[in-house]
Amino acid sequence: MRSIGTRLAAWYALAATVTLACLFVVGYQLLQSYLIHGLDLLNAAEFEQIRARLGPDYKTLTSEVINQRIRETTEYASVLFYIDIHSEQHGTVFYSSNLQGRAIPDIPGKHTYDAAIAGVGELRVAEFVLPPFDVTIATSASQVRKVMEGYIEVCSALLAAMLVVSVIIGFGLSRLALKPVRLIRETANRIRSDNLSERIPVGQVRDEISELARLLNQMFDRLEYSFNQIRRFTAEASHELKTPLSLVRLQAEKLLVAGDLSAAHEDAVQMQLEELARLNRIIEELLFLSRAEARVITLDLKPLDPERFLHGFAQDARVLAEHHGRQFVLTREGEGTVAFEDKRVRQVLLNLLANAVDASPRDGVITLRSSLAAGLWRVSVEDQGPGVPGEQRERIFERFVRLDNRGGDDKGSGLGLAICRSIIELHHGRIWAESGADGRGLRVVFEIPATQIAVDTTKGPAEKTRPAPELA
Ligand SMILES: Nc1ncnc2c1ncn2[C@@H]1O[C@H](COP(=O)(O)OP(=O)(O)OP(=O)(O)O)[C@@H](O)[C@H]1O
Ligand SMILES: [Mg+2]
């Protein structure tokens, strides 16, 4: 049982049922002893009646008279009592006919006890002395047994009902008791890098849970501070690096233009320029990501026709794909307009296309699908490459994550998909990766709401992207 709520409910139900069971056991003992005591009182009352009927001069009476008197006394109660009166001197002076010739068992040293006679049943026996006679009176205990059996049946039903009710009450109580914990979990779950200022609400009551919430909030304070430091550092470092980098590039270009370098030196400077361009691109991308995180990027959203936009993109994409020996296919469904910034979405598609080209085998088909339905524009780019294992598909959207799955001379920096995610989230959409058709290749999908009511980039992304269920 993983849930604390379930465990609490189970413990509560167990404790309540066991307590009730103990009470029933005590009740059973008490009830049984009261009933048996009642039988003993009955036997004693019958004895008193016999003694009264015999009178104070019973010692002078003959056995026949005694028998006669007792028979008259006990006639009415012959179904209730089993009586045996005997003495050493006179032998048996009275013996109830309902005993059917069987003797009442005797337990030496005991005056009241339980016994059973075959054909008669269970009896409660009491022995009395009426000198010189020993009087043994027994009464049927079968009613007591029936009452006790009924008690057990009722108690079992009550215990079963108690178990069900206590499980329900236990669940209710545990839900109530764990409500603050759920609140902490939900809030903590919402707190992410783009939402670090949110805090867990702390109640007025000072208990263990509010103390935990306070400690977690303090931890979030420290985390937010560290995150902000890192963000500021990235933004400032990228910004500060740009100027010296441009100077180095200018110097290198100047050296090339001067034309007094040897062929080997010219190659070296050329290589430096290429690496500088790459470095510049990384800095630009980091700056973009920092600004997107700081929500200072404003999109130029216009209602556009995705069909026209994709038609233009497909022409370039086809040329690019064919240049690398890949095929490019575009499929479109649905009509309408979508508010998006074409430059940014084009950047996303180019990133996805570049990844697909890198991953595809020669002559591999890269498919771009677009569908516009139910207020959602959905676009996917699918290739026939090696794909990405399920557990890594979310990771590839993190910065600088590059998997060793494309082989060859991979010069990527691992920022492409992080930028794609930022751009799509700025459009209040989401992006994720899944496996391609038949489990082959990779399909990267993004969705953008067709109509965005408020174009407000100061708001956070609508929802952090999460992988959608696999289609294939
Ligand atoms: N279509 C794909 N097939 C297989 N792996 C992919 C695919 N697209 C991305 N990946 C994996 O995800 C990693 C991250 O991709 P991303 O686009 O973010 O970075 P990059 O392509 O390596 O560099 P950059 O795009 O910044 O030049 C890639 O290095 C690659 O390992
Ligand atoms: Mg890339």
Which residue ranges does the chain devote to CATH 1.10.287.130? 208-293
How many angstroms does the Cα of residue 421 sit away from the middle of ligand 1?
13
Specify the pLDDT at position 466.
Answer: 34
> Strand pairing of 327-333 and 365-373?
parallel
Q: What is the pLDDT of residue 273?
A: 94
**Cβ neighbours, 10 Å, residue 10:** 16
Atom of ligand 1 nearest to the CA of 381: 1
Q: Counting every residue, how long is the chain?
A: 472
Amino acid, single-letter form, for residue 305: D
Report the CATH fold assignment for 208-293: Helix Hairpins (1.10.287)
Report how far residue 328's alpha carbon sits from residue 19's, in angstroms, rounded to the nearest whole number: 74
Separation of CA 414 and ligand 1 centre (Å): 6
Task: Please tell me the distance between residue 52's alpha carbon and the centre of ligand 2 in angstroms.
Answer: 114
pLDDT tens track for 306-355: 999 999 999 999 999 999 999 999 999 998 999 999 999 999 999 999 99
CATH number 3.90.930 is the correct assignment for the domain at 4-148: no
Quote the ligand 1 centre to 413 CA distance (angstroms). 9
Residues with CB under 6 Å of ligand 1 are 351, 355-356, 359, 383, 385-386, 388, 396, 401-403, 405-406, 412-418, 442
Nearest CA to ligand 1 atom 17: 416
Atom of ligand 1 nearest to the CA of 444: 1
CA of 349 to the centre of ligand 1 (A): 13
pLDDT at position 463:
36
Q: Cα separation of 157 and 162, whole Å?
A: 8
- Find the 22 Cα to ligand 2 centroid distance in Å: 70
Ranges in the chain annotated CATH 3.30.450: 4-148
What's the whole-number average pLDDT of the chain?
A: 87
Q: Are 333 and 373 in contact (CB under 8 A)?
A: yes
Predicted pLDDT of residue 453:
42
Please name the residue whose Cα sits nearest to atom 27 of ligand 1: 412
pLDDT one-digit tens code per residue, 355-385: 999 999 999 999 999 999 988 999 999 999 9
Do 310 and 335 contact (CB within 8 A), yes or no?
no
CA distance 138 to 40: 9
Ligand 1 atom showing the smallest separation from residue 403 Cα: 31
- Of 348, 406, 422, 434, the residue with max ligand 1 atoms within 8 A of its CB, to mutate for a pocket test, comes to 406
Taking 70 as the pLDDT cut, the residues of the chain under it are 1, 76-78, 193-194, 405-410, 452-472
pLDDT at 43 (0 to 100): 93
Residue pair 198/460 in contact by the 8 Å Cβ criterion: no
DSSP state of 414: S
Distance 178 CA to ligand 2 centre (A): 45
Structural Rg of the chain based on CA atoms: 48
Q: What is the pLDDT of residues 426-450, one digit of tens each?
A: 999 999 999 998 888 999 999 999 8
The ligand whose atoms approach the alpha carbon of 281 most closely is: 1
Q: Where in the chain is the domain with CATH 3.30.565.10?
A: 302-449
Separation CA 7–CA 328 (nearest Å): 57
CATH fold of 302-449 reads: Heat Shock Protein 90 (3.30.565)
Going by alpha carbons, the residue nearest to atom 8 of ligand 1 is 355
Which of 1, 13, 84, 71 lies closest to 43 in space, CA to CA?
84
